[in-house]
Amino acid sequence: MLCRTPWWSWLWLCLPWLPAQEAPPAPNPATPQTPAPTTTADGKFPRPELGAPAPVPEGAPPHLRLIDRDTLRNHTYWLADDARAGRYTTSKAQQETVKYITAHFQKLGLKPLGDKKGFVQSYPLLRVQLDANTALQFGEHKISANFAVFGAKDDEKLSLSGRFAWCGNGSAEQVPPNLGGRLPVVALHKPPPMAGTSGDLQAVQRYRELGKRLRSAGATVGVVCLLADHSSLGNTLNYHGLLPDHPKLRTPNGGGGSGGEGDAVPLFILPAASGRLLLAHLGVSLDQDGAPAGAQTEDKASGKLSLTVKADDKALGSNVVAVLEGKSKKAEAVVFSAHHDHIGQRLDGDAFNGADDNASGTAGLLEIAEAFAKGGDRPERSIVFLSVSGEELGLWGSDWFGEHPTWPLDKIVANVNIDMIGRAGTDPQRIDLQVTPSHLHEKFSTLVREGVQLGKHFGITWSSGDQYYHRSDHYNFAKRGVPVVFFCDGEHPDYHQVGDHPDRLDYAKMEAIARLAFWSGWLAAQQKGRPQELGAQANW
Ligand SMILES: [Zn+2]
Three-state secondary structure along 346-370?
CCCCCECCCHHHHHHHHHHHHHHHH
State in Å: Cα 187 to ligand 1 middle.
30
Count of C-beta atoms within a 10 Å radius of residue 501: 24
Domain end: 312, 341, 365, which one?
Answer: 312
Distance of CA 87 to the CA centre of its chain: 8
State in Å: Cα 419 to ligand 1 middle.
8
Predicted local distance difference test score (pLDDT) of residue 49: 87
Spatial CA neighbour of 160 closest among 274, 273, 265, 242: 265
State in Å: Cα 325 to ligand 1 middle.
31
State in Å: Cα 487 to ligand 1 middle.
14
Predicted local distance difference test score (pLDDT) of residue 24: 35
Q: What spatial distance separates the first Cα and last Cα of the chain, rounded to whole Å?
A: 24
State in Å: Cα 16 to ligand 1 middle.
26
121 near 400, Cβ under 8 Å?
yes
**CA–CA dist 325, 112 (Å, integer):** 11
Amino acid at 180: G
State in Å: Cα 435 to ligand 1 middle.
16
Strand 241-242 and strand 267-270: the pairing is: unpaired
- List the CATH number of the domain containing 338: 3.40.630.10
423 near 504, Cβ under 8 Å?
yes
State in Å: Cα 138 to ligand 1 middle.
37
Q: Where are the beta strands (DSSP E) in 437-490?
A: 460-464, 484-488
Q: Based on the fold, state whether residues 92 and 199 are members of the same structural domain.
A: no
Predicted local distance difference test score (pLDDT) of residue 43: 75
Domain end: 277, 312, 347, which one?
Answer: 312
Predicted local distance difference test score (pLDDT) of residue 145: 96
| Residues comprising the chain, all counted | 540
Residue 241 lies in a domain: yes
As for how many domains the chain has, the answer is 2
Rg of the chain's alpha carbons, rounded to an integer?
25
Predicted local distance difference test score (pLDDT) of residue 14: 35
Q: Based on the fold, state whether residues 301 and 196 are members of the same structural domain.
A: yes
Q: Based on the fold, state whether residues 286 and 339 are members of the same structural domain.
A: no
State in Å: Cα 1 to ligand 1 middle.
3
Q: Based on the fold, state whether residues 391 and 461 are members of the same structural domain.
A: yes
State in Å: Cα 342 to ligand 1 middle.
6
**CA–CA dist 279, 305 (Å, integer):** 16
340 near 360, Cβ under 8 Å?
no
Q: Based on the fold, state whether residues 177 and 63 are members of the same structural domain.
A: no
State in Å: Cα 2 to ligand 1 middle.
4
Domain end: 312, 334, 367, which one?
Answer: 312
**CA–CA dist 420, 392 (Å, integer):** 13
- List the CATH number of the domain containing 211: 3.50.30.30
Q: Based on the fold, state whether residues 332 and 304 are members of the same structural domain.
A: no
- Asked if omega into 271 is within 30° of 0 (cis), the reply is no
Residue 148 lies in a domain: yes
State in Å: Cα 484 to ligand 1 middle.
19
State in Å: Cα 136 to ligand 1 middle.
32
Residue 22 lies in a domain: no
Residue 318 lies in a domain: no
Q: Based on the fold, state whether residues 349 and 282 are members of the same structural domain.
A: no
Q: Based on the fold, state whether residues 448 and 373 are members of the same structural domain.
A: yes
Q: What are phi and psi of 277, to 5 degrees?
A: -60, -40
Q: Based on the fold, state whether residues 331 and 397 are members of the same structural domain.
A: yes
**CA–CA dist 52, 55 (Å, integer):** 9
Q: Based on the fold, state whether residues 338 and 290 are members of the same structural domain.
A: no
Low-confidence residues of the chain: pLDDT under 50: 7-36
Domain enclosing residue 272, as ranges: 129-312
Residue 34 lies in a domain: no
Residue 160 lies in a domain: yes
506 near 51, Cβ under 8 Å?
no
Residue 12 lies in a domain: no
State in Å: Cα 103 to ligand 1 middle.
25
State in Å: Cα 280 to ligand 1 middle.
38
pTM above 0.85, yes or no: yes
State in Å: Cα 19 to ligand 1 middle.
30
Strand 135-138 and strand 183-188: the pairing is: unpaired
The angle at the Cα of 67, spanning 62 to 70, to the nearest 5 degrees, equals 140
Q: Where are the beta strands (DSSP E) in 91-213?
A: 111-112, 120-130, 135-138, 141-143, 148-150, 157-166, 183-188
State in Å: Cα 497 to ligand 1 middle.
10
Q: Based on the fold, state whether residues 186 and 332 are members of the same structural domain.
A: no
Q: Based on the fold, state whether residues 164 and 98 are members of the same structural domain.
A: no
State in Å: Cα 341 to ligand 1 middle.
9
State in Å: Cα 3 to ligand 1 middle.
6
342 near 393, Cβ under 8 Å?
no
Spatial CA neighbour of 60 closest among 516, 532, 537: 516
State in Å: Cα 107 to ligand 1 middle.
28
State in Å: Cα 361 to ligand 1 middle.
11
State in Å: Cα 135 to ligand 1 middle.
30
Residue 218 lies in a domain: yes
State in Å: Cα 356 to ligand 1 middle.
9
Predicted local distance difference test score (pLDDT) of residue 198: 76
